[in-house]
A and B are shown apart, each in its own frame.
Chain A
Amino acid sequence: MSDDDLLARATRDLRKATTGDSDRTADTLDKILNSVEGRKAGASRPRLVLLGGGARKKVVVRAAALLAASFALTTAWAATTGHLAKWLDIEDGAARIDAPTAPAGTTAGPARPSSDPSTEPAPPADDDAMASLARAPEVDDAPFEDAAIAPSRPAAPTAPGVSGRPQTQSRRGATSPADAAPPSPAAAVATAQPPAAQSDESDAAFERANRLHFDGHYRDALAAWDNYMQIAPNGRFAPEARFNRAIALWKLGRIPEAKEALRPFAEGAYGEYRRSEAERLLDVRDR
Chain B
Amino acid sequence: MQAARWNQVLLPRAVAADDAADLVDRLKAGDRAALSYVYHAHNKQIRAFAQRLLGDADTAEELVHDVFVALPTAIRSFRDEARLQTFLLSIAGNLSKNHIRSAIRKRRALAGLTNLTHVGSAPVSQHEDPESSAQGTELIAALRRALDQLSDEHRLAFILCEVEERSAAEVAEIVGAREATVRTRLFHAKQKLRELLEDGGHP
Contacts and interface: CB of A to CB of B under 8 A. Distances in A.
Interface stretch (B3-11, B17-25, B113-121, B172-180): B113-121
Interface stretch (B43-51, B76-84, B89-97, B148-156): B43-51
B46 A20 contact: yes
B113 A277 contact: yes
Given A149-B114, A252-B124, A280 B106 contact: yes
B15 interface: no
A28 B109 contact: no
Contacts of B65: 28, 31-32, 35, 287
B35 A253 contact: no
Contacts of A20: 43-49, 51
A25 B65 CA distance: 10
B108 interface: yes
Contacts of B120: 216, 251
A265 B54 CA distance: 26
Contacts of B30: 36-37, 39-40
B125 to A, nearest CB: 9
Nearest to A8: B162
B139 A33 contact: no
A14 to B, nearest CB: 5
| Chain B binding surface SS class | helix
Interface stretch (A77-85, A140-148, A161-169): A140-148
B45 A281 contact: no
Contacts, number: 152
12 contacts: A3-B194, A7-B197, A9-B139, A17-B122, A21-B47, A24-B61, A31-B65, A37-B32, A147-B112, A148-B112, A251-B114, A281-B106
Given A3-B194, A280-B106, 20 more contacts: A3-B198, A7-B197, A10-B143, A17-B140, A20-B48, A22-B47, A22-B57, A29-B40, A39-B30, A39-B69, A148-B113, A216-B116, A218-B124, A251-B123, A252-B123, A253-B123, A255-B58, A281-B106, A283-B105, A284-B58
Interface of B: 30, 32, 35-36, 39-40, 43-49, 51-52, 57-59, 61-62, 64-65, 68-69, 72, 102, 105-106, 108-116, 120, 122-124, 136, 139-140, 142-144, 162-165, 190, 193-195, 197-198
